[in-house]
Structure 1
Amino acid sequence: MFEAFANVFRIPDLRKRVLFTLGLLAVYRLGSHIPTPGINLARWEEFFSKNLNGMFGLFDVFAGGNVRHFTIFALGIMPYITASIILQLLTVVVPTLEKLQKEGEIGRRKITQWTRYLTVMLAIMQSFGIAVGLQSSQGNIVLHPGFGFVAMTILSLTTGTAFIMWLGEQITERGIGNGMSLIIFAGIVIGLPNAIQNIYVHVFETRDWNALTLLVILALMIGVVAFIVLVERGERRIPVQYAKRVVGRRVMGGQSTHMPLKVNAGGVIPVIFASSILAFPQTVANLPLIKNTPWIADTLGSIRHGEPLYMLLFVAGIIFFCFFYVSIIFNPNEAADNMRKYGGFIPGIRPGRNTADYMNNILTKITVVGGLYLSILCILPDIMISGIHLQHLPLVGNFIDTYFPRFLLEGLGVNFYFGGTSLLIVVGVAMDTINQIEAQLIMRHYEGFTPRAGRIRGRRSSV
């Protein structure tokens, strides 16, 4: 592996791409230290700490800590993600977008341009809502309320989002890896030193954890990462046979191939949808009107983070959005028709309707597995951090509180970026980037990172 890393810098083009990517990520981190004008940061951090489990905490994950410090990058890449998801959903119902999507590179560029415009519009609306909300909130968060503060906040946050979007596109085009994903990756990984320091404090200073607890935590972390790698690479390969065709004087087709269906085709999108929906009630619960209405406050309190009902709704939401998103990005009927047009068929399955039903059944099974995988991945770290409050269940709550272990009910207090969403993004982006670097190395007759990549024998560069 060390030789593979050294080979990266022996290839001029790949070296430029890697250094260019690292340079733009450094620019992004530099901008993360520029605060938004007109904010009392001490009062804001106090307010943020009280609402950590609401939408602010979710947005802070994708903004790389910029929401906590309210920098010019506080909106992060979320407006771009939202705009991309909206346009992707609209391609199903808007014929114009569906036609553009099928036009190849020209259509993709047009959709990308519309995504940029929608991102700026969403950033303006979100920054306006944030400015008005901060002015009306209690706690003197805004230093000088008024039209000037609103205008400056809109300008600062919208410009920050547009700049992040430009950085991501430049990395994708001229660097290595997916730019938007790497920006989120950099924002999450930046918290790793603080996490290591927190573990050190628990083990060696406060001595809250003994050696066995530390080993269990490390083993779970390694196990979860290995679990993510295993499932993210997992796919169901449907065998496809193409019949021979005579085109002019040439014989086309006749080969066997396969159609790969990923176990987790939706990626982190179902988790984002489910988390956003469940974070909304937690944010609304802090409003004075809601707090003064007991039955509404009690209802929203039952779906707080760590409550059994929250976990149940979270799992149901993840599985639902897995099916919802997969139904958008993959159409079995369309795939079966395209396969039939090119003379392809699945051995033992009749072309047409039977092929579509066969693929739909397989897709349903692996989507259930993918949804359960995402649910386990997100709930297990949450139990480690804050536990699951089973003692709040009616009838059996007292029995559970007496006999169940405290670490299950109250968690281990691991203040670590070990949430399922964060970990899934980090591992997924790292795997994708390494695969792209590995492909560049193999293409130039170098050995890749993984043993299965092997080495293509031939001339080697003298550089």
Structure 2
Amino acid sequence: MKKLFTTLSNIWKIQELKERILFTLMILVIYRFVCQVVLPGVDPAQLVNTEKSGILGLLDMFAGGAFSKVSILALGVMPYISASIVVQLLGIAVPSFQKMQKEGESGRKKLTQITRYLTVAITAVQAIGYVKTQVPEAAILIDHTMFYVLSGFVLTAGTLFVMWLGEKITDKGIGNGTSIIIMVGIIARLPIALKQEIESRFTGNSGGLIMLVLEIVALFAVVMFTILIVQGVRKVPVQYAKRIVGNKQVGGVRQYIPLKVNAAGVMPIIFAQALMFIPNALIGVFPKLQDSWLHQYSDITSVTYSLTFAFLIIAFTFFYTAITVNPTQMSDDMKKNGGFIPGIKPGLATSTFIDDVISKITFPGSLFLAIIAILPSLAVKFGIQQEFAQFFGGTSLLILVGVVLDTLQQIESYLLMRHYDGLMKTGRVTGRTGIPAAGGSTAAL
């Protein structure tokens, strides 16, 4: 406990770090305040039963409840994340985007600009769908046509405002702005979920305090397990040959390549959830399908839903890892810099070895990711309220753990630069890959 207070006092002694933390907190307060502002022309009194479930509930959690409140920030940063993912995938498949990725800072600026324009287009389309499907007609106080047009502009401006806030946090605050905004939105739902769970446990014969304590212990264990998966790496040793550059000798040291057990991050879960939403969408368009086999995918706690969801996550983990991790390029870069893996020939043999290692660690990583993803449905099966069960796994938990680790890593780097002790007595906080950033791999879903 004494070391904790010492570390906190050291953080406060570093002027730049203190200013960045206070700036981040100020931006987050502004964001949470604006989230409460309802769209113009909407009667808030008519929005009493707008709680969302399923994929919409997940979007509402990411937006900190703004989605169900019909706020001007209802769409949050999700259109920006979608645009970032599209640009990232184009960087893998389209040569012109690959060229921009290799142009350094100028290429990054071009990709960022493209992402912003794409965000506007995606938000405009999603805004129309949102106001037509999620806003009750009884809540609209003005002419409907005027409301739809006005809401489209306001929701688009709201998403751009949130995107701007995220960029400001990244530039002048601490951590990745987009990731932190999503994390705050998720955490904002925790008090409500915890309150509902406590009320349910003390109502009737639901186990009372003992069951509540067991749930908290189980949640703590799940968080520890998730941290293990997020931080897990397979270290491949690399030896660099000695070289003479000018009058100095460089190289001759042994380093390692940290291959992540979960290199795909939260992307497989996001892709799988998008596909799992299709059956519900088909039932909504064609009501006759309600009695077909597609109805099994309406219940997230069903065995069919969980098994299909897990299978898709495993498949997408292999797919996303294959397109983002390039063993051939890693081998070529190593060869150019005079590096080699001990006992492995440079070139094709090195590429094959790295690919084999990635394949071996990706399967357990994808399996653990699938387990984390279906834990919320298992929690509901054990009687936990669905709102609180969302914190037992899935995208929300992975984002929370990843963003916290990433932010702590930045804080620790400031402490170590000023010759203070880190956040822990032993070891160092290792960051993770988070929400996709334009023009590169993921940087906080």
TM-score of the superposed pair, with normalisation by structure 1? 0.86
In structure 2, the partner of 1:166 is 164
Is contact 2:197–2:384 with CA below 8 Å preserved after alignment? no
In structure 2, the partner of 1:274 is 272
CA-CA distance at 1:168 after TM superposition: 0.2
Query: Which amino acid in structure 1 is aligned with residue 244 of structure 2?
Result: V
Is contact 1:58–1:275 with CA below 8 Å preserved after alignment? no
In structure 2, the partner of 1:101 is 101
CA-CA distance at 1:242 after TM superposition: 1.2
In structure 1, the partner of 2:111 is 111
Query: Which amino acid in structure 2 is aligned with residue 147 of structure 1?
Result: T
Cα distance change of structure 1 residues 105 and 452 upon mapping to structure 2, 3 Å threshold:
farther
| 1:298 correspondence with 2:306 | no
| Structural mapping, 1:218-367, within 5 Å | 218-287=216-285, 290-291=286-287, 293-294=288-289, 297-304=291-298, 305-367=300-362
Distance (Å, rounded) in 1 between the aligned partners of 2:305 and 2:193: 26
User: Which residue among 207, 213, 216 is the counterpart of 1:215?
Assistant: 213
| 1:425 correspondence with 2:399 | yes
In structure 1, the partner of 2:372 is 377
Where structure 2 has 5 or more consecutive residues not aligned to the other structure, the ranges are 429-445
Query: Which amino acid in structure 2 is aligned with residue 264 of structure 1?
Result: N
Query: Which amino acid in structure 2 is aligned with residue 428 of structure 1?
Result: G
Distance (Å, rounded) in 2 between the aligned partners of 1:134 and 1:188: 20
| Structural mapping, 1:381-396, within 5 Å | 381-385=376-380, 387=381
User: Which residue among 411, 414, 417 is the counterpart of 1:440?
Assistant: 414
Per-residue Cα deviation, 1:409-453 (whole angstroms, up to 9, x for no partner): xx4335414142111111111111111111101111112211125
Distance (Å, rounded) in 2 between the aligned partners of 1:206 and 1:157: 43
Is contact 1:240–1:347 with CA below 8 Å preserved after alignment? yes
Per-residue Cα deviation, 1:95-130 (whole angstroms, up to 9, x for no partner): 121111112222112211211111111111111232
Q: What SS is found at the alignment partner of 1:180?
A: helix
User: Which residue among 382, 399, 413 is the counterpart of 2:385?
Assistant: 413
Q: What SS is found at the alignment partner of 1:258?
A: strand
Distance (Å, rounded) in 1 between the aligned partners of 2:163 and 2:197: 34
Distance (Å, rounded) in 2 between the aligned partners of 1:415 and 1:332: 41
Q: Which region of structure 1 is more displaced relative to structure 2, 256-265 or 415-424?
A: 415-424
| Structural mapping, 1:53-72, within 5 Å | 53=54, 55-72=55-72
User: Which residue among 8, 11, 16 is the counterpart of 1:13?
Assistant: 16
Distance (Å, rounded) in 2 between the aligned partners of 1:7 and 1:280: 51
| 1:52 correspondence with 2:58 | no
| 1:182 correspondence with 2:183 | no
Greater relative contact order (CA < 8 Å, ≥ 6 in sequence): 2
Is contact 1:285–1:297 with CA below 8 Å preserved after alignment? no
Two-structure CA RMSD over aligned residues (Å): 2.0
Q: Which region of structure 1 is more displaced relative to structure 2, 145-154 or 71-80?
A: 145-154
CA-CA distance at 1:366 after TM superposition: 1.4
Q: What SS is found at the alignment partner of 2:344?
A: coil
Distance (Å, rounded) in 2 between the aligned partners of 1:229 and 1:182: 17
Query: Which amino acid in structure 2 is aligned with residue 82 of structure 1?
Result: S
Is contact 1:92–1:328 with CA below 8 Å preserved after alignment? yes
Per-residue Cα deviation, 1:299-323 (whole angstroms, up to 9, x for no partner): 2211121222211111111112212
The structure having more radius of gyration, on CA atoms, is 1
Cα distance change of structure 1 residues 280 and 3 upon mapping to structure 2, 3 Å threshold:
farther
Per-residue Cα deviation, 1:303-360 (whole angstroms, up to 9, x for no partner): 1212222111111111122122212221111111111111111111111111111111
Is contact 2:165–2:177 with CA below 8 Å preserved after alignment? yes
Query: Which amino acid in structure 2 is aligned with residue 189 of structure 1?
Result: I
Distance (Å, rounded) in 1 between the aligned partners of 2:294 and 2:154: 34
Per-residue Cα deviation, 1:260-298 (whole angstroms, up to 9, x for no partner): 1111111111111111221232244234xx22x14x642
CA-CA distance at 1:248 after TM superposition: 4.4
Distance (Å, rounded) in 2 between the aligned partners of 1:41 and 1:306: 32
In structure 2, the partner of 1:396 is none
Cα distance change of structure 1 residues 333 and 237 upon mapping to structure 2, 3 Å threshold:
same
CA-CA distance at 1:60 after TM superposition: 1.1
Where structure 1 has 5 or more consecutive residues not aligned to the other structure, the ranges are 388-406, 455-463
Query: Which amino acid in structure 2 is aligned with residue 131 of structure 1?
Result: V
Per-residue Cα deviation, 1:19-51 (whole angstroms, up to 9, x for no partner): 0000000000001100112335455553x44x6
CA-CA distance at 1:206 after TM superposition: 4.2
Q: What SS is found at the alignment partner of 2:292?
A: helix
| Number of equivalences | 422
Q: What SS is found at the alignment partner of 1:348?
A: coil
Is contact 2:42–2:140 with CA below 8 Å preserved after alignment? yes
Distance (Å, rounded) in 2 between the aligned partners of 1:162 and 1:266: 27
In structure 2, the partner of 1:201 is 199
Q: What SS is found at the alignment partner of 1:302?
A: helix
Cα distance change of structure 1 residues 186 and 134 upon mapping to structure 2, 3 Å threshold:
closer
Q: What SS is found at the alignment partner of 1:334?
A: helix
Query: Which amino acid in structure 2 is aligned with residue 424 of structure 1?
Result: L
Q: What SS is found at the alignment partner of 1:67?
A: coil
Distance (Å, rounded) in 1 between the aligned partners of 2:233 and 2:172: 30
Cα distance change of structure 1 residues 169 and 381 upon mapping to structure 2, 3 Å threshold:
same
Is contact 1:77–1:164 with CA below 8 Å preserved after alignment? yes
Cα distance change of structure 1 residues 298 and 139 upon mapping to structure 2, 3 Å threshold:
farther
Is contact 2:202–2:209 with CA below 8 Å preserved after alignment? no
| 1:36 correspondence with 2:30 | no
Cα distance change of structure 1 residues 277 and 141 upon mapping to structure 2, 3 Å threshold:
farther
Is contact 1:134–1:142 with CA below 8 Å preserved after alignment? no
Distance (Å, rounded) in 1 between the aligned partners of 2:341 and 2:270: 35
In structure 1, the partner of 2:74 is 74
Per-residue Cα deviation, 1:221-275 (whole angstroms, up to 9, x for no partner): 0100111111211100100111123344443321111001111111111111111
Query: Which amino acid in structure 2 is aligned with residue 240 of structure 1?
Result: V
CA-CA distance at 1:58 after TM superposition: 2.4
Q: Which region of structure 1 is more displaced relative to structure 2, 219-228 or 162-171?
A: 219-228
Cα distance change of structure 1 residues 201 and 431 upon mapping to structure 2, 3 Å threshold:
same
User: Which residue among 135, 145, 148 is the counterpart of 2:146?
Assistant: 148
